[in-house]
Structure 1
Amino acid sequence: MTQPNKQQIFERLGAPFREDEIEWRAQTTIAANNGKPPKALVVPYVQSRAIMNRLDEVVGWDKWENTVQELPGGGILQGIRIWISDNQSITKWDGADRTNMEATKGGISSAFKRAAVLFNIGRYLYSAEAKWVEITPNRTTQKDEYIQDKKKDIYGYFTPPSMNNGNRKINNSHERVSPASRNQAPNVQPQTTEIPAGMFECTYQGKLLQESESGPYMEVWLKSNGDIACLYAIGETINKIESLFLVEGETIAVGSRVDKQGRFIVTDLIRLSQAA
């Protein structure tokens, strides 16, 4: 049997997951109003167990390992190492904060998932659109997931949406969504070939809007010199990025700063060229 090359391994690791391997996390909720039930805006993510199975299937159960380290301040750093041949391996690292529930276990799981994305595992989910779902007081299907928002006093169940329907496609390594297919006309920024001072050129990989105690923020995934990196956008920068309707593979220029926690914060982002 022919040994798969690096590109084949990368593509196999990035193959879409089955519906039962996907879970959904709420970004925000809306209380019941005018007789309408409460709703939640949910985004998909892959289960840690599914990532382990993918690694077993593609590279072999004995050809990968993970390492966990604790960061100053309590964060979790995790590396995944895979062997692509008997004498060559690749290790990629990423980290996460401890979670509110089961802090250590949750932090390890989050860091594991982030490191897996660097190997293309589940990366297409970062380009999936968040979807609105209704919250009901009781289960309506066996697949329903429980949700609670203590701040808004919202509790109940929602039926996970399908990855194959909705008003927008998922953007993965096999199919792209053009700006023309969006529901609203994109405000396409004029292309430029000059990189402004203080900015660097990279390739856009995807984004994901998140919610924290201090407010919303956006994870912006970029590729530069063969490496995948995650930067963060806050405030008005989120609106600017949303207005660009970026597509995976487009060349962009990014300006950033480092905050007190050592995270790279996007200060500006422009499109240099559109994806083919």
Structure 2
Amino acid sequence: MGRVRTIQRGGSRFYIHPDRPEIKHPGVTSVVAMLPKPFLMYWAAKMTAELAVDSLPFVEQMAARDRQGAVDYLKGASRRYTKVRADVGSQAHDLFERMIRGETVGHVHPDLEPYRERFADFLKAVNPRLERAEDVAWSDSHEYAGSFDAVLTVWLDDKGEPTPDRSGAPHLLMADWKTSKATYPDVALQMSAYAHADRIIAPDGSTEPMPEFDGAAVLHITPDAWAFKPVRIDEGVFSVFLALRRVFTWDREDSKTVIGRAIAKSAQKLVTGTQRRGK
């Protein structure tokens, strides 16, 4: 079996079947993106307004020379912020993977140093064992795929708290790293999709059934603090993800087929006498 490749199409990521390239499944995050997020409209408007007020003289000078350039500068405020945060998140994820695999990490960029320190604190306090990292969860049954951050074994006591000496009971967890300002409920949809997939495909193309998990947890890590939080990934949560999977198909495929060509329409645009005389 070959490795899994991905492509971008229509703003969404698709995973290509390793042996049958005609089969392309949408990525988990693209499916979760079907969840309505009306607050993003207000957040983007706020970002644009704050940029305009904070850089008013600059924007005024730009508009005098290039009005469209000024418009593009302002309307791109939220997009630029999102890209910066995404870049930091990607670099942090790469750092976390190297650290949890036991690689000695030396000097890192000053922007990443707080994340390195917080993740090192997490490893010391929880002492998880890495089982898998950055492999592909593939669902033949429901036609989706996605790359998960990690599968961990964590030892917990009777209160559900970690025992870093590994004296507690072992629990197999689907794990995710988040570097956003907060943890949001849709992480449960994302992680339930991974955990309920049919199989895991490794980078070398080898595959094995998805294991049974004892639970899931998200590590929320910021430059100032970290928190390891349990996440529900039960059938109820997964059923919501599957509903979004159907919405994805509607949005990308079915919605384009439900309205047919007109079976009757006006022959030509009406031209009034006043319009004729005005020519």
For the criterion TM > 0.5, the same-fold answer is no
The TM-score bracket by the shorter chain reads under 0.3
Give TM-score, length-normalised by structure 2: 0.26
Specify which structure has the higher proportion of helix: 2
Q: Which has the higher contact order (CA 8 A, sep 6+)?
A: 2
